[in-house]
Amino acid sequence: MKKLILLPMLFFTLAVLQAQEYKVITSVESIVPSGMGRSRIIDGQEDKDFEEFTSEQTEEDNTRNKSKRGDIRVKNFEETKLLNFYNIAGIRFQNIAANDAVISSKLSAMASEGWELVFVTSGVEADAGDKDGQGIFITRYIFKRD
């Protein structure tokens, strides 16, 4: 009888203790007029431990982390081409539809690998001044799996 009780408790404990893994995929879509920008989906293929690049600042102890900015860089990543939002004639809706298809394909591939999309966030960076010729639309897709 004890074995019948302990076995389900063991399985429950293992399920609770199982770590979750997170992954971030980023799409960067150019909003530079005349199609001069670059648009991509970026998927980092390396893991980094944030603790290696973290320092704690207190009034008593102002020790700094000795890692260099170059240590943070990821050299192994997957880069998928996307089309720019604009071309010489202006905004290009066909390009947006094409990007949607490519991004959907990437999201479907991630789902088939066991990743669950849990959060999406996006933003725009642009000068917005009189002669604003720069800008990107960035979206981060945050996935998790058990």
Asked whether residue 113 is assigned to any structural domain, the reply reads yes
Instruction: Report CA 42 to chain centroid distance, whole Å.
Output: 7
Asked whether residue 2 is assigned to any structural domain, the reply reads no
pLDDT tens track for 13-48? 555 556 799 999 999 998 877 767 889 999 999 988
Asked whether residue 7 is assigned to any structural domain, the reply reads no
Q: What is the pLDDT of residue 6?
A: 61
> Which residues touch 49 (CB under 8 Å, ≥6 apart)?
none
95 in Cβ contact with 67 (< 8 Å): no
Range of the domain at 38: 20-145
Asked whether residue 47 is assigned to any structural domain, the reply reads yes
Q: What is the pLDDT of residue 16?
A: 55
Domain count, the chain: 1
Asked whether residue 5 is assigned to any structural domain, the reply reads no
pLDDT tens track for 117-135? 999 999 988 766 666 667 8
Asked whether residue 119 is assigned to any structural domain, the reply reads yes
User: Quick one: 85 exposed, middle or buried, by C-beta within 10 A (0-12, 13-18, 19+)?
Assistant: buried
Asked whether residue 125 is assigned to any structural domain, the reply reads yes
